[in-house]
Homo-oligomer: A and B are copies of this chain.
Amino acid sequence: MSVTYATTEELAAMQEQLTSNLSVVWILLNSINIMLMQTGFAMLEAGAVHRKHIKSILSKNLMDCAIGTLAWWGFGYSIFTMSNEFATNKTESFAGFFLMFAFAVTCGTIASGAVVGRLRFPTYMILAFFIIGCLYPLIAGWVWSEKGFLYGRYTDVAGGVVVHGVGGVCAFVAAALIGPRNDRFDGLGTGDVVVVPSPGNSPPLQVLGALLLFCAWFSFNGVSAGLGDAEGLNAASRAMVTTLLASSAAACVGLILVRSITGYYDLGVTFNCLLAGLVSVTGNCSLIDTWAAVLIGAISAPVFIWSDRFILYKLHVDDPISASALHGVVGIYGGLCTGVFHRTEGVIHGHGDLLLVQLWGTLLIVVVSGVSVFVVLQVLRLFSPKRKLTVSAEAQLLGMDFYYHDRDIIENLTAARIREFNVR
Q: Which residues of A contact B (CB under 8 A)?
A: 3-11, 14-15, 17-22, 24-26, 28-33, 35-36, 38-39, 42-43, 46-47, 54-55, 58-59, 61-63, 65-70, 73, 87-89, 91-92, 94-95, 97-98, 101, 121, 186, 194-197, 199, 202-205, 207-208, 210-212, 214-215, 218-219, 222, 228-230, 233-234, 236-238, 240-241, 244-245, 247-249, 251-252, 255, 258, 261-262, 264-271, 274, 289-291, 294, 313, 404-411, 415, 418-419, 422, 424
Are B98 and A59 in contact, with the CB atoms below 8 A? Answer: no
Q: Which residues of B contact A30 (CB under 8 A)?
A: 29
Q: Is the CB of A28 within 8 A of B240?
A: yes
Can you name 25 A-B residue pairings with CB atoms under 8 Å?
Answer: A4-B9, A5-B5, A6-B10, A6-B11, A15-B17, A20-B230, A32-B219, A35-B215, A58-B204, A62-B211, A63-B255, A66-B248, A67-B248, A70-B245, A70-B294, A87-B290, A89-B289, A89-B290, A89-B291, A91-B237, A95-B237, A194-B422, A197-B410, A199-B408, A264-B406
Known: A10-B11, A21-B22. 10 other contacts (CB 8 A): A20-B230, A32-B218, A62-B211, A63-B270, A67-B252, A68-B248, A194-B415, A194-B422, A202-B204, A264-B407
A87 vs B291: C-alpha distance in the bound complex, in angstroms?
7
- A218–B94 Cα gap in the complex (Å)? 13
CA distance A55 to B255 in the complex (A): 13
In the complex, chain B residues whose CB is within 8 Å of the CB of A245: 69-70, 73
Give min CB distance, A358 to chain B, whole Å.
23
Q: Are B66 and A251 in contact (CB under 8 A)?
A: yes
User: A28: which B residues are within 8 A, CB to CB?
Assistant: 218, 222, 233, 236-237, 240
State in angstroms the CA–CA spacing of A289 and B89 once bound together.
6
Across-interface contacts of A264 in B (CB, < 8 A): 404-407, 409
Say whether, besides A313-B422, A408-B197, A29 and B29 are in contact (CB < 8 Å). Answer: yes
CA distance A176 to B66 in the complex (A): 33
Taking the closest CB of chain B, its distance from the CB of A190, in whole angstroms, is: 13
Q: Which residues of B contact A36 (CB under 8 A)?
A: 215
When the two chains form the complex, which single residue of B24, B62, B274 contacts A251, counting CB atoms closer than 8 Å? B62
**A7 touching B7, Cβ below 8 Å:** no
Closest chain-B Cβ to A126's Cβ sits at a distance in Å of 13
Q: Which residue of B lies closest to A404 (CB)?
A: B265
Whether B204 pairs with A46 at a CB distance below 8 angstroms is yes
A25 touches B228 (CB 8 A): yes
Give the contacting residue for A42; candidates B208, B234, B290, B294; CB below 8 A.
Answer: B208
- A196–B66 CA distance with the chains assembled, in angstroms: 31
Q: Is the CB of B195 within 8 A of A58?
A: no
State the CA gap A95–B271 with chains docked (Å).
Answer: 25
Whether the Cβ atoms of B238 and A271 lie closer than 8 Å is no
CA distance A43 to B214 in the complex (A): 15
Query: A262: which B residues are within 8 A, CB to CB?
Result: 407
Partner of A19, one of B18, B195, B214: B18
* Residues of chain B with a CB closer than 8 A to A219's CB: 32
The 8 closest A-B pairs by CB, nearest first: A69-B248, A94-B237, A66-B251, A66-B248, A39-B211, A199-B408, A95-B237, A6-B11
